[in-house]
C-alpha cells in the first residue's frame, strides 16, 4: 500500500516513473507480440507439413476448406468482435466469392489468380449489400436481416441457374494454374495456408493501428465517438468491406479446392459454424477465431462432414461456450496468465498525484486571468421536446480562456444546452457562433474537429484498453485514416502511432496520472479516474473549448478536488471550459464565472471575483436540492 498524498508532489521524479512505466508497458507488449509470432510460425509450419502425413485429393480438399472457414471467421471477427456489429451474412459473402470465382473460371475461362480477384470483388459487393442495413439498424434487427440473406441464397441461386447451375451446383471450374503451371492439390492447400497467414498478418496490423481504436470506439462508445471527431457510419461501412474481404477470398479458394460450388455449402450450418467459432475462441481477440474454429473443425472431421451430428455438435458448442466461457477461450487464458503474473496495485481510489505544493482544496490556486475575445456565442436558442420547453431562448457567450460553471436546478436544460453546443441536438430556433463562423446545424464530428470537445455523464471509454490508449483515441479522429498504410504497417502509420503516443504521454504527465495506471485496462480503475481519463482524451487533441456535463457527479470529496485541480490546470493551459455542476463549493472553488440556467433561460451570469448578483447569491446560498424544480414567480 502506498499513500499518494505522502509522495513528493509533482517533481521530475514522477515523470521518470511515468517513463519507466511506459517503457515497461511497451516492453511487455513487444514480448507478448514475439510470443504470438512464434506461436503463429509454429502453427503454420505444423499445418504446412500436413501433406506429408495425409494425402489424396479428398484429404487436401477437406483441409483446404477448413482453412477457408478459419479465414472467413477471421473476417467475421473483425465485424462482430472488434466492431460489435451483429452481422451474420458471412456465408453469403463466401458463396458470392465462390460463385463469382467459379463462374469466371467455368464460363469465361479466366485464369486462377484473376478468377480469385473476381471472387473477392463479388464477395465484397455481396458483403456491402447484405450488411448495408447496419448503417440504419442495430443489434438483433441487423442479425436477422443479414441472416435472411443466408436463407434467400438458395432461391437466388436457383433463379440464376443458367449461370450458377442452380440446384445441381456449378461445375466446370478449371484446375488452378499460375503462370502456366498447374497447381496440384497440395500446392493449392499450401497457397491457401499462406493466404490465411497473410490475412492474419494484415488483420493484426489493422487492429494494432489507429483503425483498431476506430473499430472499438464504434463498438464501445457508440454515438459518443462522434464527439472525438469520428464518423461511426463511415467506419462501419469500411468494416463491412474489411470483414467481407477474408470471407470472399475464402469462398473463391473453396471454389477451386472443391472444383464445385453448391449453395448448400453456404447455409445456416456454415453461419452457425463461423459464429460459434468466433464466440468460442473469443470475439474481439486476434486468436479468437483460430482458437475457436480449431476444435469445431476437428469435431467435424471426427464425425464426418456430412454427418447429422455436425449441426448438433455446433449447436452444443455454441451452448457450452455461452455458459462456460461467455467471453471465449482466449480472454479466459489471458485472465489465467495475468493472475499468475501479479502487477503493482493501484491503491488509491483516485490514482493521481496532487497538483501544486499546497495539495488541493486551496481556493487561492485561482489566479485572475485575462480572457480573450468571445469565442462561443448562443443567441435565442430554443428546443422543445414534445410539450416540454427545455430551452427557451438562451443567450450567452463565453470568452476565450474562461472556466465557466453552468449551474441550475435539475431539468433546467443544462444537458440539453450542452448537447446543442456539441451538435448532438439541433436547436429549433436560434443560432450558435463559434469563433467567426455560424456553426448552427454542424455535425458532432465537425464541431469536434473544429475544437469543441466534450465528455459524458457516464464516461465513454474502451474498457479493455489502458488509460494511455484511451487518451490516444482522442487523436485518431484528427489524423489521416488511410487503410493501406495501416494494414501494411508502413512507416507513415508507425509515425502516426508515435505521434499519438507522445501526445497522450504529455497529457498523462500534465494531468499527473499515477504512473502505475499507465498500462492498466481502464475497466480496473475507479469512476473518478475514468472521468479524468475521458477529460484527458478530450484534451489530447488540444481543443479550443471543453464542454463537461457533471464531471463530479458520483465522486467523493477527494476525487472531486482532484478533478477540480485538473480542470484548473487545463484552463491554465488556455483551454476554455464550460462545466455543468451541482456542487456549489466545487464551482465556487474552480470557476472564473458562473451562469445560472433556470427553466431553459440564462437568468444570471457573473464573474466570481466581483460582487455576485442577488439572484445568484440566493441560488448559491439555498443549496439547491436536486429534485425540486424552481418555478418562476
Ligand atoms: P438538466 O441537465 O439541467 O437537468 P435536461 O437538459 O436534461 O436538464 O432536461 C431539460 C428538460 O428537457 C427536462 O424537462 C427533460 O425532461 C427534458 N428533456 C431532456 N432531454 C429530453 C429528450 N431527449 N426527450 C424528451 N425530453 C427531454
Ligand atoms: Mg443533466
- Between 13-27, 40-54, 246-260, 482-496, the lowest mean confidence (pLDDT) is in 13-27
What is the tens place of the pLDDT at every residue in 388-419?
999 999 999 999 999 999 999 999 999 999 99
CA distance linking residue 500 with residue 199, whole number of Å: 26
Q: What is the pLDDT at residue 308?
A: 75
Q: What is the 3-state secondary structure (H, E, C) of 587-624?
A: HHHHCCEEEEEECCEEEEEEECCCCCCHHHHHHHHCCC
**Nearest-CA neighbor of 511 among 455, 471, 454, 452?**
471
Q: What is the pLDDT at residue 352?
A: 57
Q: Decide whether any atom of ligand 1 lies within 6 Å of the 415 Cβ.
A: yes
Q: Whose CA is nearest to atom 10 of ligand 1?
A: 413
Question: 546, 454 in Cβ contact below 8 A?
Answer: yes
Name the residue of 407, 416, 579, 629 whose CB sits within 8 Å of the most ligand 1 atoms, as the mutation to test its pocket.
416
Q: Whose CA is nearest to atom 16 of ligand 1?
A: 411
Name the residue of 381, 390, 630 whose CB sits within 8 Å of the most ligand 1 atoms, as the mutation to test its pocket.
390
Best CATH choice for the domain 369-451+543-633 from the list 3.40.50.300, 3.30.2270.10, 3.30.230.10, 2.60.120.10: 3.40.50.300
What is the tens place of the pLDDT at every residue in 84-118?
999 999 999 999 999 999 999 999 999 999 999 99
The percentage of residues in the chain with a pLDDT greater than 70, rounded to a whole number, is 91
Please tell me the distance between residue 414's alpha carbon and the centre of ligand 2 in angstroms: 6
Q: Give Cα separations from 346 to 4, 406, 522, 524 (angstroms).
A: 10, 33, 12, 9
- Quick one: average pLDDT of 337-354? 59
**Ligand 1 nearest-atom number relative to CA 383:** 12
Please tell me the distance between residue 424's alpha carbon and the centre of ligand 2 in angstroms: 14
CA distance linking residue 249 with residue 199, whole number of Å: 10
Look up the pTM and report it: 0.90
Q: Decide whether any atom of ligand 1 lies within 6 Å of the 596 Cβ.
A: no
Q: What is the mean pLDDT of the chain?
A: 89
230: left (phi over 0), alpha (psi -120 to 50) or beta: beta
**Ligand 1 nearest-atom number relative to CA 414:** 3
CA distance linking residue 526 with residue 351, whole number of Å: 9
Q: What is the pLDDT at residue 3?
A: 41
What is the tens place of the pLDDT at every residue in 366-386?
555 678 899 999 999 999 999
What is the tens place of the pLDDT at every residue in 563-612?
999 999 899 888 999 999 988 889 999 999 999 999 999 999 999 888 88
Q: Which residues surround ligand 2, an ion (CB under 5 A)?
A: 415
Neighbours of 38 (CB within 10 A): 10
Q: Decide whether any atom of ligand 1 lies within 6 Å of the 457 Cβ.
A: no
CA dihedral 119, 120, 122, 124 (to 10 degrees): 160
- Quick one: average pLDDT of 506-528? 90
Within the chain, which residue ranges are assigned CATH 3.40.50.300?
369-451+543-633
Q: Report which bound ligand comes closest to the CA of 410.
A: 1
- Between 66-70, 133-137, 360-364, 580-584, the lowest mean confidence (pLDDT) is in 360-364
Question: 261, 99 in Cβ contact below 8 A?
Answer: yes
β partners of residue 379: 431
Strands 388-399 and 374-385 turn out to be antiparallel
Amino acid at each position: 500500500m502506498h499513500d499518494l498524498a505522502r509522495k513528493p508532489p509533482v517533481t521530475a521524479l514522477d515523470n521518470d516513473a511515468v517513463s519507466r512505466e511506459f517503457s515497461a508497458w511497451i516492453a511487455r507488449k513487444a514480448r507478448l507480440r514475439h510470443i504470438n509470432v512464434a506461436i503463429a510460425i509454429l502453427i503454420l509450419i505444423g499445418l504446412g507439413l500436413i501433406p506429408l502425413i495425409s494425402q489424396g485429393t479428398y484429404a487436401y480438399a477437406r483441409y483446404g476448406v477448413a482453412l477457408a472457414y478459419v479465414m472467413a471467421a477471421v473476417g467475421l471477427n473483425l465485424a462482430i468482435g472488434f466492431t460489435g456489429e451483429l452481422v451474420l451474412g458471412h456465408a453469403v459473402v463466401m458463396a458470392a466469392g465462390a460463385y463469382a470465382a467459379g463462374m469466371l473460371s467455368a464460363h469465361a475461362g479466366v485464369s486462377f489468380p484473376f478468377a480469385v480477384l473476381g471472387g473477392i470483388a463479388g464477395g465484397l459487393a455481396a458483403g456491402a449489400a447484405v450488411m448495408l442495413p447496419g448503417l440504419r439498424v442495430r443489434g438483433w434487427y441487423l442479425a436477422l436481416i443479414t441472416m435472411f440473406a443466408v436463407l434467400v441464397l438458395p432461391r437466388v441461386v436457383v433463379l440464376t441457374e443458367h449461370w450458377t447451375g442452380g440446384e445441381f451446383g456449378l461445375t466446370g471450374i478449371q484446375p488452378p494454374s499460375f503462370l502456366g503451371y498447374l497447381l496440384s492439390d497440395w500446392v493449392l492447400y499450401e497457397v491457401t495456408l499462406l493466404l490465411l497467414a497473410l490475412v492474419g498478418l494484415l488483420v493484426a496490423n489493422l487492429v494494432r493501428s489507429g483503425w483498431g481504436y476506430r473499430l472499438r470506439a464504434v463498438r464501445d462508445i457508440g454515438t459518443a465517438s462522434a464527439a472525438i471527431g469520428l464518423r461511426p457510419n463511415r467506419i462501419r461501412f469500411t468494416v463491412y468491406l474489411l470483414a467481407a474481404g477474408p470471407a470472399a477470398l475464402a469462398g473463391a479458394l473453396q471454389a477451386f479446392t472443391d472444383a464445385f460450388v453448391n449453395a448448400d455449402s453456404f447455409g445456416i450450418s456454415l453461419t452457425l459454424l463461423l459464429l460459434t467459432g468466433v464466440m468460442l475462441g473469443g470475439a474481439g481477440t486476434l486468436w479468437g477465431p483460430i482458437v475457436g474454429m480449431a476444435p469445431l473443425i476437428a469435431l467435424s472431421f471426427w464425425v464426418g462432414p456430412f454427418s447429422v451430428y455436425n449441426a448438433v455438435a455446433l449447436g452444443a458448442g455454441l451452448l457450452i461456450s455461452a455458459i462456460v466461457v461467455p467471453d471465449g477461450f482466449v480472454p479466459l487464458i489471458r485472465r489465467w496468465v495475468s493472475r499468475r503474473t501479479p502487477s503493482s496495485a493501484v491503491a488509491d481510489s483516485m490514482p493521481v498525484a496532487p497538483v501544486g505544493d499546497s495539495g488541493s482544496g486551496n481556493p487561492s490556486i485561482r489566479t485572475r486571468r485575462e480572457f480573450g475575445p468571445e469565442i462561443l456565442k448562443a443567441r435565442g436558442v430554443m428546443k422543445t421536446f414534445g410539450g416540454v420547453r427545455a430551452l427557451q431562448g438562451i443567450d450567452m457567450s463565453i470568452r476565450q480562456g474562461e472556466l465557466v460553471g453552468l449551474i441550475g436546478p435539475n431539468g433546467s436544460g443544462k444537458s440539453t444546452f450542452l448537447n446543442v453546443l456539441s451538435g448532438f441536438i439541433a436547436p429549433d430556433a436560434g443560432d450558435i457562433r463559434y469563433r467567426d463562423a455560424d456553426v448552427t446545424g454542424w455535425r458532432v464530428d465537425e464541431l469536434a474537429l473544429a475544437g469543441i470537445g466534450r465528455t459524458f455523464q457516464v464516461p465513454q471509454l474502451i474498457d479493455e484498453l489502458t488509460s494511455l490508449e484511451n487518451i490516444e483515441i482522442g487523436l485518431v479522429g484528427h489524423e489521416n485514416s488511410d487503410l493501406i498504410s495501416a494494414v501494411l504497417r508502413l512507416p507513415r502509420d508507425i509515425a502516426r502511432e508515435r505521434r499519438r503516443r507522445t501526445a497522450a504521454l504529455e497529457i498523462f504527465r500534465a494531468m499527473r496520472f499515477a504512473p502505475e495506471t499507465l498500462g492498466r485496462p481502464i475497466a480496473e480503475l475507479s469512476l473518478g479516474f475514468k472521468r479524468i481519463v475521458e477529460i484527458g482524451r478530450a484534451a489530447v487533441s488540444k481543443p479550443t473549448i471543453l464542454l463537461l456535463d457533471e464531471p463530479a457527479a458520483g465522486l467523493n470529496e477527494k476525487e472531486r478536488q482532484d478533478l477540480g485541480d485538473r480542470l484548473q490546470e487545463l484552463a491554465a493551459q488556455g483551454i476554455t471550459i464550460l462545466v455543468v455542476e451541482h456542487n456549489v463549493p466545487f464551482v465556487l472553488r474552480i470557476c472564473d464565472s458562473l451562469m445560472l440556467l433556470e427553466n431553459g433561460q440564462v437568468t444570471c451570469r457573473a464573474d466570481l471575483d466581483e460582487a455576485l448578483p442577488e439572484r445568484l447569491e440566493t441560488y448559491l446560498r439555498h443549496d439547491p436540492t436536486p429534485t425540486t424544480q424552481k418555478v418562476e414567480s
